[in-house]
Amino acid sequence: MSTKLTGSHGSSLWRLSKKFDFAAERIIPDPLVFCLIFTILIFAGGVLVTDNSPIAMAQYWYDGIWSQAAFAFQMAFMVVCCAVTARSPQVSRGLDRLANAVKGPAAAILMLMVFGYLASFLNWAFGLIVTPVLAMALSQRIRGLHFPMLIAAGYSTMVLGQCLSPTATIYALLAGNHSLVDKIGVLPQTVTTYNPANIILWVILASMTTLIAMWTRPSASEIVEFKQDFASVATQSEPVVDEFKGSIAHRLNSSRFLAWAIGLLGVMMICYTILKNGLFSSLSLSFVIFIFLIANFFLYNTPARFITAYRDNLKLATDVMIQFPFYGGIAGMMASSGLAAVVVGFFTSISTAGTLPFFTYVSSSLVNLFIPSQGGQWIVQGEIVIDAALQTGANLPLIINAFILGDEATNLLQPLYVIPALAVVGMRLRDVWGYMAFLWCAWFIVTSIALFIIPAIL
């Protein structure tokens, strides 16, 4: 996969980031383990704190598991659709040409970061897969790029991009008919996503992260360059050759007419929806998934290529699909046992309208270690956060922003979402985790300070 260059110098930021570099694979278990631990903790908490019987808690858990079946499929399908788009031959060739436009390491890192933010604005799953593909293309052409750091920095753009993306799960959810609409109504993205405080804080974090990526330079002897054949990693496998070529079945499987007809039908619906509702009002989770699904009919041209691409990428959704029912079980126990009300009471007892954004950020960061999914975490924690904001009179959009900032930040520590990106390039978690942890510390310091300052000036 890689080779090392020789030399003797490294920047001070590089030496600092190395202090976070340790064998993460020996310490951090599979993300499912976190989910199971949290299930046991909530079960025990419900029995001990709320006086529910073990049988009652088990029933709440069982009922909750099946409450999120539709949402689990929706999230898993989004991951697969976006991965299929990102790894299409057309997108790979476009990234290859884009990589040819830069000449030096600094310009390459800047391009990767800007591209990663833009891709994440479109959709986090798309950005997750397409950014390491660009990193491979850049590393193939420019010497002196430390590939593990490139992957970690690119992954951070997906994480941070969700804090300002119209397709982020919670922002898109609250802009539609969500489960808390009776309490807070429908919240358009002009209020939640694009309020001035969130924009300013995002720009600060994005600029800082980009500068850290550009200034964290390893010594020449520690540089690890990517050497695997780019084309073999970035493209999809071809469908199995039909031995009955020329038969009716073969012609139907290879029919461009069928793929384009469905694609054009989808384009018609996409255009109609946007013209009817406006762009930002149309960006529900289902609509975003639909856009990528329809795009793939054009990218793969035939039913055979289309389904082969999906089969190749289904494994990327395994963790998301298996964990969401457990998130629903946790939410069922929290809500039905009364434990959620206890948690709200704790937060409101220690918080004011001015301090609740910080405590929301910290609590969201901690819970995300156990529930590494914005949608899954909102199932468990969303109503708690909203109730605390309403009871303290805190700025509701800022509380939602703080929740999302905390949820996204610890995705740099929780390995669930970086695993698909690492699988694309054939790397291990321990190759990138130290640098990701270093970035998390920088984000935590800056965001915590900002969330104390912003309520004072709003």
pLDDT less than 70: residues of the chain:
1-9, 21-28, 227-244, 280-281, 283-285, 344, 370, 458
Domain that holds residue 312: 2-457
What is the torsional sign of CA 215, 134, 263, 375?
negative
Enter the pTM of the model: 0.77
Q: In Å, how far are 97, 382, 406 from 389, measured between CA atoms?
A: 48, 11, 16
pLDDT confidence of residue 285? 67
pLDDT confidence of residue 418? 83
Rounded distance between C-alpha atoms, residue 360 and residue 159, angstroms: 18
Rounded distance between C-alpha atoms, residue 142 and residue 407, angstroms: 34
Domain count of the chain?
A: 1
pLDDT confidence of residue 157? 95
Between CA 264 and CA 392, with CA 281 as vertex, the angle to 5 degrees is 150
pLDDT confidence of residue 3? 47
Contact 145, 105 (CB under 8 A): yes
Three-class SS state of 86: helix
pLDDT confidence of residue 19? 76
Give the model confidence (pLDDT) of 366-399 as tens digits: 888 767 778 878 887 888 889 889 988 999 999 9
pLDDT confidence of residue 316? 80
With CA atoms as reference, report the closest residue to 312 among 368, 235, 390, 425: 235
Phi, psi of 453 (to 5 degrees): -80, -45
